[in-house]
Amino acid sequence: MKAVKMKQEVMKRAHELAKAMEGDYRARMVMALRQAWREARAPKFVVLRVNHQPSGGREWVARIMGRHPKYRFEREFLAEAAREWSGSGKTGITVYELSDGIYEVNEPWKGRRFVEVANGEVRILKAEEVLERVA
């Protein structure tokens, strides 16, 4: 039953894409179906919502890449996927998309924490656990 639902969603998406294209409908539909299947098979991400409050510091998420001699961890800082901030920009939520891996999250007023994303699930880790895993 799940496969049927997926095919229905792919066909709906293909029709949306085909409507936006120009030319022969049959050719547009072929291209749109290819694109819709590519999107359906694309790797899935976990959405992490981090509190935004500039008076408490800047929020960020960084993927742990290994060890660093000075900073303990080699990190790759992620770009935000979306901002859900108030009109003034003083409060709100910053959204990040995470794939499988270990991340360090900095949240104003709460401080830093480590999380692991595996198979679409998020688990909180201690710094010692991260040091053991990142050799």
pLDDT digits (tens, 9 = 90+) for 65-109: 999 999 999 999 999 999 999 998 889 999 999 988 999 999 988
Residue 42 has a pLDDT of 73
Burial class (CB in 10 A: 0-12, 13-18, 19+), 95: middle
> Average pLDDT of 111-118?
93
Residue 75 has a pLDDT of 95
Closest CA to 125 of 76, 83, 73: 73
Closest CA to 59 of 25, 127, 110: 110
Q: Between 45 and 85, name the one with better pLDDT.
A: 85
Distance CA 80, CA 45 (A): 13
> Average pLDDT of 52-77?
91
Confidence bin at 46 (pLDDT 50/70/90): confident
Residue 114 has a pLDDT of 96
pLDDT at residue 1 greater than cutoff 70:
no
Residue 57 has a pLDDT of 83
pLDDT (tens digit per residue) in 11-44: 999 999 999 999 999 999 999 999 998 888 876 7
